[in-house]
Protein backbone atom coordinates (compact mmCIF):
# COMPACT_ATOMS: atom_id res chain seq x y z
CA UNK A 1 0.00 0.00 0.00
CA UNK A 2 2.83 2.37 0.91
CA UNK A 3 4.54 1.53 -2.39
CA UNK A 4 1.36 2.40 -4.33
CA UNK A 5 1.05 5.71 -2.51
CA UNK A 6 4.70 6.60 -3.22
CA UNK A 7 4.34 5.58 -6.89
CA UNK A 8 1.16 7.63 -7.26
CA UNK A 9 2.76 10.64 -5.56
CA UNK A 10 5.80 10.41 -7.83
CA UNK A 11 3.57 10.21 -10.89
CA UNK A 12 1.57 13.28 -9.84
CA UNK A 13 4.72 15.30 -9.14
CA UNK A 14 6.13 14.37 -12.57
CA UNK A 15 2.86 15.28 -14.30
CA UNK A 16 2.75 18.63 -12.52
CA UNK A 17 6.38 19.35 -13.49
CA UNK A 18 5.59 18.57 -17.14
CA UNK A 19 2.55 20.86 -17.07
CA UNK A 20 4.58 23.68 -15.49
CA UNK A 21 7.32 23.21 -18.09
CA UNK A 22 4.77 23.56 -20.92
CA UNK A 23 3.38 26.69 -19.27
CA UNK A 24 6.85 28.24 -19.34
CA UNK A 25 7.57 27.52 -23.01
CA UNK A 26 8.22 30.80 -24.79
CA UNK A 27 7.14 31.47 -28.36
CA UNK A 28 9.81 30.36 -30.85
CA UNK A 29 10.57 31.37 -34.45
CA UNK A 30 9.49 28.96 -37.18
CA UNK A 31 9.89 31.11 -40.31
CA UNK A 32 10.98 34.59 -41.36
CA UNK A 33 9.90 36.43 -44.51
CA UNK A 34 8.12 39.46 -45.92
CA UNK A 35 4.38 39.84 -45.30
CA UNK A 36 2.74 39.04 -48.63
CA UNK A 37 -0.60 38.49 -50.37
CA UNK A 38 -1.74 38.46 -53.97
CA UNK A 39 1.83 38.22 -55.23
CA UNK A 40 3.04 41.47 -53.66
CA UNK A 41 4.54 42.43 -50.34
CA UNK A 42 2.96 44.65 -47.72
CA UNK A 43 4.70 47.70 -46.33
CA UNK A 44 4.68 49.89 -43.25
CA UNK A 45 3.90 53.60 -43.34
CA UNK A 46 5.62 56.17 -41.13
CA UNK A 47 2.72 55.85 -38.64
CA UNK A 48 3.30 52.10 -38.22
CA UNK A 49 0.14 51.20 -40.18
CA UNK A 50 0.38 48.34 -42.70
CA UNK A 51 -0.27 49.25 -46.35
CA UNK A 52 -0.54 47.31 -49.61
CA UNK A 53 1.48 47.16 -51.75
CA UNK A 54 4.74 48.15 -50.07
CA UNK A 55 5.39 50.68 -52.86
CA UNK A 56 2.41 52.79 -51.71
CA UNK A 57 2.82 55.97 -49.68
CA UNK A 58 6.63 55.75 -49.41
CA UNK A 59 6.31 52.71 -47.17
CA UNK A 60 9.01 50.14 -46.47
CA UNK A 61 8.76 46.37 -46.74
CA UNK A 62 8.39 44.65 -43.42
CA UNK A 63 10.13 41.42 -42.59
CA UNK A 64 8.44 39.36 -39.90
CA UNK A 65 9.28 36.25 -37.95
CA UNK A 66 6.39 33.87 -37.35
CA UNK A 67 6.66 32.51 -33.83
CA UNK A 68 4.75 29.44 -32.66
CA UNK A 69 3.38 29.88 -29.14
CA UNK A 70 2.70 26.51 -27.46
CA UNK A 71 0.64 28.13 -24.69
CA UNK A 72 -1.84 29.67 -27.17
CA UNK A 73 -4.56 27.05 -27.03
CA UNK A 74 -7.52 29.34 -26.32
CA UNK A 75 -8.44 29.49 -30.02
CA UNK A 76 -7.92 25.81 -30.79
CA UNK A 77 -5.46 22.93 -30.69
CA UNK A 78 -1.70 23.35 -30.91
CA UNK A 79 -0.66 20.92 -33.67
CA UNK A 80 2.92 21.96 -34.43
CA UNK A 81 4.22 21.99 -37.16
CA UNK A 82 1.10 21.86 -39.38
CA UNK A 83 -1.31 24.14 -37.51
CA UNK A 84 -0.63 26.41 -34.58
CA UNK A 85 -1.26 29.82 -33.11
CA UNK A 86 1.43 32.40 -32.65
CA UNK A 87 2.57 35.93 -33.29
CA UNK A 88 4.46 37.88 -35.98
CA UNK A 89 7.51 39.78 -34.72
CA UNK A 90 9.13 42.48 -36.88
CA UNK A 91 12.78 42.08 -37.81
CA UNK A 92 15.22 44.35 -39.68
CA UNK A 93 14.94 48.13 -39.88
CA UNK A 94 12.13 48.21 -37.33
CA UNK A 95 12.47 49.21 -33.70
CA UNK A 96 13.02 46.23 -31.40
CA UNK A 97 10.10 44.36 -29.83
CA UNK A 98 7.45 45.28 -32.44
CA UNK A 99 4.69 42.81 -33.34
CA UNK A 100 2.07 42.84 -36.05
CA UNK A 101 -1.19 43.83 -34.37
CA UNK A 102 -4.70 44.07 -35.74
CA UNK A 103 -6.77 47.09 -34.73
CA UNK A 104 -10.35 48.17 -35.54
CA UNK A 105 -10.61 50.58 -38.45
CA UNK A 106 -11.36 54.17 -37.49
CA UNK A 107 -13.95 54.39 -40.27
CA UNK A 108 -15.75 51.01 -40.13
CA UNK A 109 -16.12 48.72 -37.10
CA UNK A 110 -16.50 45.65 -39.35
CA UNK A 111 -13.05 46.24 -40.86
CA UNK A 112 -9.68 45.71 -39.23
CA UNK A 113 -6.29 47.22 -40.09
CA UNK A 114 -2.76 46.06 -39.41
CA UNK A 115 -0.27 48.03 -37.33
CA UNK A 116 3.07 47.42 -35.66
CA UNK A 117 2.89 47.80 -31.88
CA UNK A 118 5.04 46.84 -28.92
CA UNK A 119 4.95 43.06 -28.43
CA UNK A 120 3.17 41.62 -25.44
CA UNK A 121 4.10 38.45 -23.58
CA UNK A 122 6.77 36.11 -24.99
CA UNK A 123 4.61 33.21 -23.80
CA UNK A 124 1.00 34.18 -24.47
CA UNK A 125 0.56 37.05 -26.97
CA UNK A 126 -2.19 39.63 -26.63
CA UNK A 127 -5.44 39.00 -28.49
CA UNK A 128 -4.65 41.69 -31.07
CA UNK A 129 -1.30 39.97 -31.80
CA UNK A 130 -2.62 36.42 -32.27
CA UNK A 131 -2.40 34.63 -35.61
CA UNK A 132 -3.26 31.18 -36.95
CA UNK A 133 -0.76 29.34 -39.16
CA UNK A 134 -1.94 26.43 -41.30
CA UNK A 135 0.05 24.23 -43.68
CA UNK A 136 -2.20 22.56 -46.23
CA UNK A 137 -2.57 21.75 -49.95
CA UNK A 138 -2.84 25.47 -50.73
CA UNK A 139 0.46 26.33 -49.05
CA UNK A 140 1.49 28.06 -45.85
CA UNK A 141 -1.34 30.32 -44.77
CA UNK A 142 -1.93 32.90 -42.06
CA UNK A 143 -5.11 34.39 -40.62
CA UNK A 144 -5.70 36.79 -37.77
CA UNK A 145 -7.03 34.73 -34.85
CA UNK A 146 -8.02 37.48 -32.40
CA UNK A 147 -11.76 37.26 -33.17
CA UNK A 148 -12.73 40.96 -33.17
CA UNK A 149 -16.51 40.81 -33.75
CA UNK A 150 -16.00 37.36 -35.32
CA UNK A 151 -16.68 33.79 -34.35
CA UNK A 152 -13.81 32.63 -36.58
CA UNK A 153 -10.52 34.07 -37.85
CA UNK A 154 -10.12 37.14 -40.06
CA UNK A 155 -8.44 37.37 -43.45
CA UNK A 156 -7.43 39.93 -46.04
CA UNK A 157 -10.35 41.51 -47.89
CA UNK A 158 -9.86 40.80 -51.61
CA UNK A 159 -11.21 42.15 -54.90
CA UNK A 160 -12.64 40.04 -57.74
CA UNK A 161 -9.10 39.32 -59.03
CA UNK A 162 -8.00 37.99 -55.63
CA UNK A 163 -5.81 40.98 -54.75
CA UNK A 164 -5.98 42.70 -51.36
CA UNK A 165 -8.58 45.47 -51.31
CA UNK A 166 -7.21 48.50 -49.49
CA UNK A 167 -8.77 51.61 -47.99
CA UNK A 168 -9.25 54.23 -50.70
CA UNK A 169 -6.65 56.97 -50.59
CA UNK A 170 -4.59 55.42 -47.78
CA UNK A 171 -3.78 51.93 -49.09
CA UNK A 172 -4.36 50.59 -45.56
CA UNK A 173 -4.48 46.81 -45.32
CA UNK A 174 -8.05 45.70 -44.57
CA UNK A 175 -9.16 42.49 -42.88
CA UNK A 176 -12.56 41.12 -41.92
CA UNK A 177 -14.19 37.93 -40.64
CA UNK A 178 -13.61 35.10 -43.09
CA UNK A 179 -17.29 34.13 -42.95
CA UNK A 180 -18.27 37.57 -44.28
CA UNK A 181 -16.84 36.45 -47.64
CA UNK A 182 -14.40 38.00 -50.10
CA UNK A 183 -11.44 37.26 -47.85
CA UNK A 184 -8.23 35.35 -48.29
CA UNK A 185 -5.28 34.20 -46.25
CA UNK A 186 -1.95 36.02 -46.28
CA UNK A 187 1.55 34.70 -45.74
CA UNK A 188 5.27 35.22 -45.46
CA UNK A 189 7.62 35.03 -48.44
CA UNK A 190 10.55 32.65 -48.67
CA UNK A 191 11.13 28.95 -48.43
CA UNK A 192 9.37 27.07 -45.65
CA UNK A 193 11.21 24.27 -43.89
Q: How confident is the prediction for the chain on average, in pLDDT?
A: 85
Domain enclosing residue 128, as ranges: 24-188
What's the confidence (pLDDT) of residue 23?
A: 60
DSSP conformation letters of 56-104? GGG-EE-EEEEEE-TT--SSS--BTTTEEEEEEEEESSS-SSEEEEEEE
17 domain-assigned:
no
Contacts of residue 170, Cβ cutoff 8 Å, sequence gap at least 6: 49, 51, 57
Among the listed residues 132, 111, 133, 113, the one whose alpha carbon sits nearest the alpha carbon of residue 180? 111
Determine the average pLDDT of the residues in 80-102: 90
What SS3 string covers 134-191?
Answer: EEECCEEEEEECCCCCCCCCEEEEECCCCCECCCCCCCECCEEEHHHCCEECEEECCC
- pLDDT by residue (tens digit) across 12-67? 344 444 444 556 799 999 999 999 998 899 999 989 999 999 998 889 899 999 99
- pLDDT by residue (tens digit) across 143-178? 999 877 788 899 999 999 999 999 988 999 999 999
7 domain-assigned:
no
74 domain-assigned:
yes
CATH of the domain at 136: 2.80.10
What's the confidence (pLDDT) of residue 17?
A: 42
130 domain-assigned:
yes
- pLDDT by residue (tens digit) across 132-146? 999 987 788 999 998
- Total number of domains in the chain: 1
> pLDDT at residue 92 above 80?
no
177 domain-assigned:
yes
135 domain-assigned:
yes
6 domain-assigned:
no
Amino acid sequence: MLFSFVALSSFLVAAQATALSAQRTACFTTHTGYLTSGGNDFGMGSDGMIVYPYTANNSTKIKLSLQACPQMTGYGSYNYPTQYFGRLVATETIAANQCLSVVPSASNLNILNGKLKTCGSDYLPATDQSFLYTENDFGNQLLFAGLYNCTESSGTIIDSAGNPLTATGTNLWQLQCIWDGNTSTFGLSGTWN
